[in-house]
Structure 1
């Protein structure tokens, strides 16, 4: 195997470096060279490891544990469901808890979406969304069997299953499997204002340029052969919390509508309250045809994800075959549904999305004030409780650090040290999929203004300390 591919494998999943344990492990961990420290306890936002170290999990794991850890209400809801039954064969039967969750999810869109399908992971959800989109065009009148292609974006991440990896644009995670991936997934530029908007170009001109690029890609592929355009409203792990500029998604929606294609929005990481609205698309003035959700749906208390489909899709399937040609053994798992339903009730009752929006704006102000002037910080971006910081060797030219320096992983390591004890989620490849370092900060939804100020100060101190090694 070529050394470049081996390097890719080692660095494909951020973070590539963790505090290590010397104990041999039978688990296929992210790294097989040494086992990571084990988590032995977690309470609130505090996570304790097997070496006695405790950190404040300021990223909710991978933007998952939105309520923090060990919630009594969620635990009781899961136990109550287990006492009734823990599994249901969804091929033949349904459950009350599944109906309740789906109804709550549809109501959370104010009726814009029509139905939900619950499964176990974001990657599964993206594969299901792609299949649902294809089936829609096979049930329209007349059928449109020539529609077999997808358009997505460079610098995107949609999951690691075959379809999700194929439609995604995460270079490191694709590289080893590139020759085997689906060949019907084309890419256009990401909406990354820091890297993509030209000097002197207005936001409106930038949006127009990206809309033309998408329109050109439709015509290049054959507009009548494209199923859907796929995008993250706020790009998460691949680019580091990059939001779209105002008007971008309206323009993309118009191009899709022009050619009769669908719009699929991946909100696995950015949705379910993370960006200051329950659904990130609510801030864009558009409604997707199909949406994926996961992390903030169940808060990490049980494996769960879902797709939501709008009335356009639901009506065609209902009037056609009446069935989605897809399924998983554990879809609609009752215990996962119970956990997610209770998480969503807590988020609504405690007005946590409002807190994310309001305190998140304050968090952004602090991060900009603390970080913008540093010579090696190129860009601070995000919204709600989903923020990213991109690092550069040269602030004027936006030249990234060499990959070999592992700047983002160094920042992660410094943050994990006993002096700071916080988690800053590292990533590489934010420039071209290979070079470009960034970190994510994604606090729990109930974080207060006082707590967010401490997180912002620690983030500043960790980053300044780590970057001093590269000055």
Structure 2
């Protein structure tokens, strides 16, 4: 009899394989089986696993200085990391606040929005609400869940937080307004102005959105007009624009940041995941100079801190990861290999359960449907995305499943997002394994239904 495991897992009903080592785009279990990490963990491992340059940088920092609390010290590692982040950020965004992950980054971003108006308006501002979107995910802390709109993740905890207003997201495959692009005039973006006017701009601090919707819907890109329109609306009503680039940042979509696809400069960017690429838990907030200067010239202090924010080991990881991205031209590789991956995934739309493949760069999603003509989703009880995930694992491919996006209950999708180091042959192998998994899952759910 094996010893009892004392880990409190995500799901007691799952019997997961034991990961023991990794290299490049591959992970190996304790039976010696090789898996392609086709989703970079959770779109984290942007530079691949166990890269020597990053590992050595982290180890060297641990030997030199492992911790120095930011209430008493600055440190060189975090200053170098901030310079590297700023070198990739949109123009005029040169200040970086470091935290330990995406949820903390979003919490920091929304508190910074509130702090900005308090500082600017002499402490009397009523601006405190953050407009979010349905079918969005911004983290697991109470504040992040409150501004997010992922129904399955928030339903049980609604009584425990202050609600923030929501608008519909850009979901052209299932347009919430029953319109068609482009004749719709990008109604989803216009809903932001409607919400601001209805609530009152004097109460709205920021609009928070993912440039490309991640796990909630599955790599959902917006119409090209969307982000320029919301930028203009925010400017018109004195509302800050916060881009949640936790998944999309640091080259994932084929640009440094996803907002760069539309030449839009947010006021605040929340980031994490690919920032340190999984080597050390790290997140951050990139701040427009004009916003930071208001704090700097006002009280000079931002009342938000965590024990590990700005720790030197995270700084070493961030610096090494960004240098590696630059040295190996990984943003371009994400763009080039992403075009190939997208074309191969589009071919899989011929499979009966595949409704749509969509994405940008090396961030692609596949939506699963019971009926292609009507786009009818599978009932949640079938857990179709889980069926696909298991078939992929049997074939040595890891994908990232999601669900509930069709109506808050039903709907299945998964993401394919390999490390930015992926090569052409590996992209084709991913598509081949995925095709086999989808064909098997298609037969399995048809029998199960």
* Shorter-chain TM-score tier: over 0.9
1:108 to 2:88 alignment: yes
Q: How does 1:9-158 map to 2 (within 5 A)?
A: 24-33=4-13, 36-109=16-89, 111-141=91-121, 143-158=123-138
1:331-350 CA distances to partner (integer Å, 9 max, x unpaired)? Answer: 01111110111010000011
Q: Which residue of structure 2 lines up, in the alignment, with residue 4 of structure 1?
A: none
Q: Give the TM-score, by structure 2 length.
A: 0.96
Distance in 1, Cα, partners of 2:225 & 2:334: 23
Return closer, same or farther for 1:199/1:259 CA change in 2, 3 Å cut-off.
closer
Helix, strand or coil for the counterpart of 1:321? coil
Residue segments in structure 1 that go unaligned for 5+ positions in a row: 1-20
Distance in 2, Cα, partners of 1:188 & 1:215: 10
1:192 to 2:167 alignment: no
Q: Which residue of structure 1 lines up, in the alignment, with residue 144 of structure 2?
A: 164
Helix, strand or coil for the counterpart of 2:367? strand
Q: How does 1:287-302 map to 2 (within 5 A)?
A: 287-302=265-280
User: In the alignment, is the contact (CA less than 8 A) between 2:337 and 2:424 conserved in 1?
Assistant: yes
Q: How does 1:6-405 map to 2 (within 5 A)?
A: 24-33=4-13, 36-109=16-89, 111-141=91-121, 143-183=123-163, 185-196=164-175, 201-203=180-182, 205-207=184-186, 209-369=187-347, 371-405=348-382
State the shift of 1:396 in Å. 1.0
Q: Which residue of structure 2 lines up, in the alignment, with residue 455 of structure 1?
A: 430
Distance in 1, Cα, partners of 2:55 & 2:321: 10
State the shift of 1:200 in Å. 6.6
Residue segments in structure 2 that go unaligned for 5+ positions in a row: none
User: In the alignment, is the contact (CA less than 8 A) between 2:103 and 2:144 conserved in 1?
Assistant: yes
**Which of 417, 420, 436 is residue 411 of structure 2 equivalent to?**
436
Return closer, same or farther for 1:57/1:189 CA change in 2, 3 Å cut-off.
same
Distance in 2, Cα, partners of 1:300 & 1:260: 36
State the shift of 1:374 in Å. 2.5
Return closer, same or farther for 1:204/1:344 CA change in 2, 3 Å cut-off.
farther
Distance in 1, Cα, partners of 2:279 & 2:401: 23
State the shift of 1:52 in Å. 3.6
Distance in 2, Cα, partners of 1:110 & 1:367: 30
1:465 to 2:440 alignment: yes
Return closer, same or farther for 1:200/1:186 CA change in 2, 3 Å cut-off.
closer
User: In the alignment, is the contact (CA less than 8 A) between 1:243 and 1:381 conserved in 2?
Assistant: yes
**Which of 364, 386, 411 is residue 409 of structure 1 equivalent to?**
386
User: In the alignment, is the contact (CA less than 8 A) between 2:246 and 2:270 conserved in 1?
Assistant: yes
Distance in 1, Cα, partners of 2:353 & 2:14: 32
Distance in 2, Cα, partners of 1:99 & 1:213: 40
Helix, strand or coil for the counterpart of 2:413? strand
Distance in 2, Cα, partners of 1:139 & 1:200: 42
Distance in 2, Cα, partners of 1:107 & 1:164: 27
CA RMSD after TM alignment: 1.6
* Number of residue pairs matched by the alignment: 446
State the shift of 1:153 in Å. 0.3
State the shift of 1:60 in Å. 0.8
Distance in 2, Cα, partners of 1:244 & 1:32: 37
State the shift of 1:199 in Å. 6.6
- Which segment drifts farther, 134-143 or 162-171? 134-143
State the shift of 1:367 in Å. 1.1
User: In the alignment, is the contact (CA less than 8 A) between 2:135 and 2:405 conserved in 1?
Assistant: yes
Distance in 2, Cα, partners of 1:237 & 1:169: 12
Distance in 2, Cα, partners of 1:94 & 1:400: 52
User: In the alignment, is the contact (CA less than 8 A) between 1:22 and 1:35 conserved in 2?
Assistant: no
Distance in 2, Cα, partners of 1:110 & 1:131: 21
State the shift of 1:221 in Å. 1.4
Distance in 2, Cα, partners of 1:443 & 1:245: 24
Distance in 1, Cα, partners of 2:360 & 2:14: 36
